[in-house]
Amino acid sequence: MSTPQPVRHVGSPELPAADPLPDPVTPTSPMSGGGVPFQPAPYPSLNSNPHSDSDPSTQYPLPQGVVPLHQEHPYLRPPTRMNSLGRLGHYEILAVLGSGGFGKVFQALDEKLQRLVALKVLHNRYDDGSHAVERFMREARAAAAIHHENVVIIHAIEEYPVPFLVMEYIQGQTLNQRMVQRGPMPVGELLHLGVQIARGMAAAHELGIIHRDIKPANILLNYATKPHAKLTDFGLARQLDDARLTGSGIVVGTPMYIAPEQAQGDDCDARGDQFSFGAVLYHMAAGIPPFSGSNTLALLLNVTTGSKRPLAEVRPELPARIVAVIERLLANTPEQRFPTSQALVAELEQILDDWTAGRLDEHSPVPPTAISPMPISAGIPLGNPQRNPFPENVLRANPDGAPRRGGFRWVGWTVAASVLAGLAGIGSQLLFRGEPEDASALGNPNESIASLPNIVPPFLNDPIRPGVEQEPPMAPQLPPVEEVVPKPPLLVHENPPPVGTPEYAKFCQVQREHYQKMRQQIERLPIEQQIQTFVREMLAANPDLPQPIDLKREDVGLVVAIPWERVVNFGPLVLVPQFHQLTLTGYGGPDRCLDFEAIRDLRLTIFETWASHVHSLDVLHTLQANHIDLASLPMDDLSWIRNCSTVRSLTLQLKPAASVTPLYDHPLQKLAFRGPPPDLRLIRGLKLNRFDLWEFRLSDDELDSLRSLEVEDLSIGGNRRIQTLNWVPKEPKLKQLAVNGTSVSDLSPLKGSSIEMLWIIDTNVRDLTPLQFMPNLRELHCKQTKIADFSPLQGTYLELVDADFVFERDAPILQKMPRLKLINYQDANDYLVPKSR
């Protein structure tokens, strides 16, 4: 479970490119502390509803079967205005931004000051004067004392009806979300953000406040051309002279970014924050954290012994001065780090100035002795997964003979074992920010993060040089496929164990391992032979499977569709080369379920299934898919999504009482709903590129919640109850709108919008005049409408029009549109020649 943050998920542009999508909401920066007070246009003024909170006539009903937010959280009063989820004091709750074991974060409207804020609310189960409340109040006091542009502002603290903080609302994303979406940062962005984070940390240290939990999830980036970083979540902070809330031997912080002295339960000063900041910088530069482990204790041992891969080896093109700063920050002993955080800021600022002026060296040489000790857990190699520049005869690291980095104080595995035992003694006292309830997180601190390798490749005598084309090695001459592929007669099971059982999972594992060995034998053959091998093995293992197998070879890879109810052994799917998309057709039923253990560890881009009953949803993260379509599967638990770090597009069917909180914890780009309509108020705080809501029986009033949804592509159609476009978001981010199959007739609400592509197919539209007031419109799709007059199009900048034209009537109009390139997907010049139609 991720730490709740006052942030909505928005993509951050790469530096130094200009931001094509400026902040569409905030007229003045919420960080400025001054200027004109924020006036959120979508929300009515205070005078629009004169009734009191207790007046039941002002409480807007939710759709049938949906549990109101104020019932789930008793401290919330019922909503008193449309587009509200409830009330907390004079704050209208607009959206759920995040949730954790410690509390929730809401987006809210401060009705007194008419500005958007973030409310961090302590779970009411902690509202008992306990240590959690004291820690919560400490965060407020610590953060409120810091007045700096790189620290989130605390506007107020309230204690009734439940303790909560009123915080500055940042429209953007966390640093962690930025890195998950885009990987390692360019040098310019790394330095730009690194300097800001260091400044915020130094501002806290000047007041004697130690953060003790600096990590990417606690760093917010606003939505701007050059993202502005802000440090937040001072829940573990304490004054240098205040040890009342830190017991002896208790480890606090996040294991992947914790300082060695902090991991051992020792007192930690500002230099402990420096170490955490160094781990964050390493993550920003390499795309992965510096330390990992198969479990928490293994990870902490790697931290305390400095077992990490040198950054200069992971990213050799990084300037040497940047590498030197990060290595100094990650020194094992505090004395080896910077004497003060201000000294660190000064060093980073000088490096940024030199980089801007072009005076920084281009790369960091890798010392020939920079071999790190073997970490506790094995894992996949780091670096570019598309190319392995190292030969196959790699060397295994010798933990006894390999030189140690960081000057740590223990020698040999005997002492290391004693360290591990000491960590085990305090393991039950580990305190994790924002995830005390997630047992899976405690067992795997590296969720969605590649662990360090247990092999160290030798250095190449002739490394690949930029700009020089390298000759690929000669491929070995392999015998025909029949001579290298082992036959699996003993692995074909006519009656596998029942799905959903450990025996079935073991059965799938045996099949998978067998065909993985077979794939290793054929992966260097021509792709045609690999496909033939897959088809042959799939049919041999599944005699009832219809022939031929539905397999298409596209530019992006192979697309396979299989009726899963006719499959006994899914193992041969491992043999599919360049796997792009898998569709499992067939719906099944309560007595015929699909167990996703059958597809564990497949590597593909798109996964779809029609199945309505499944087992093992948690397996989906092993596919590393970009898009998952479960449109036929009603679900009320979306927690499995949190593990799917690669998923950017989802198609779901939700049960009425389903919680959508996990969607806020995931950097989605596209979201589509099928089946029963969801409560749209619960998703309007999501940051998406595309939202698709097709064939739902929703009225215009029920769609009103979409007005605050920030998307680039909105598709709402297949619903004749929709008659107006008053619900369409006014955000300049909206570029594509589709309302096909609706009763919409008036396009006037779209005047002044930034829409570039418009679909109004099969609607009641007659008048195109409003399009003259849409200067960005470039594509219009309007077939099956009642449009008879296309003359308003002469005043537009359209480049493509798809419509039911009458040539004799409309050709003169189309000829007066010089920007027009395509007419009904035909070259405009060709279309306007009568004989070519």
Please tell me whether 733 is known to bind a ligand. no
Q: Are 29 and 122 in contact (CB under 8 A)?
A: no
The packing angle between helices 270-286 and 320-329, to 10°, is 140
Measured CA to CA, the distance from residue 591 to residue 163 in angstroms comes to: 48
Which CB contacts under 8 angstroms, 24+ apart, belong to 598-604? 598/508, 598/567, 598/570, 599/570, 599/573, 599/623, 600/508, 600/509, 600/512, 601/512, 602/573, 602/574, 603/579, 604/557, 604/579, 604/580
| The one-letter amino acid at 6 | P
Per-residue tokens: 543? 């005699």
Instruction: Please give the backbone phi and psi of residue 373, each rounded to the nearest 5 degrees, phi first.
Output: -65, 155
Phi, psi of 119 (to 5 degrees): -105, 120
- Residue 335 DSSP code: G
DSSP class of residue 596?
G
Cα–Cα dist 417/441, whole Å: 24
The partner residues of 628 in beta bridges, in order of sequence, read 607, 650
At residue 667, the 3 state secondary structure works out as coil
Tokens standing for residue 354:
């030199």
Helix 527-541 to helix 502-522 angle (10° resolution) is 150
- Rounded Cα distance between 25 and 38, Å, is 9
- Counting every residue written for the chain, the total comes to 837
**Residue 703 near residue 729, CB atoms below 8 Å:** no
Buried b (16+ CB within 10 A) or exposed e, 398-433: ebeeeebbbebebeeeeebeebbebbeebeeebebb
C-alpha to C-alpha distance for 225 and 29, rounded to whole angstroms = 13
Q: How far separated are the first and last CA of the chain, in Å rounded? A: 59
Query: What is residue 258's three-state secondary structure?
Result: coil
Q: Which strands form 86-88's sheet, in the order they lie side by side? A: 86-88, 91-99, 103-110, 115-122, 164-168, 154-158
Please, is 741 exposed, middle or buried when counting C-beta atoms within 10 Å of its C-beta (0-12, 13-18, 19+)? buried
Q: Is 834 exposed, middle or buried (0-12, 13-18, 19+ CB in 10 A)?
A: exposed
Token representation of residue 11: 């993509």
DSSP assignments along 472-489, one per residue: PPPPP-PPPHHHHPPP-G
Distance from C-alpha of 532 to C-alpha of 517, rounded to nearest angstrom = 17
| Cβ within 8 Å of residue 226, ≥6 positions away | 15, 16, 192
CA 119 to chain CA centroid, nearest Å: 22
Indicate the helix (H) or strand (E) that contains 354: helix 341-356
Instruction: List alpha helices for 216-340, DSSP H.
Output: 260-263, 270-286, 296-305, 311-314, 320-329
Going from the C-alpha of 142 to that of each of 130, 327, 344, 402, 617, the distances in angstroms are: 19, 29, 22, 43, 41
Handedness of CA 411, 417, 422, 424 (dihedral sign): positive
Q: Which residues are annotated as a binding site?
A: 120
Q: Which residues are annotated as a binding site for ATP?
A: 120
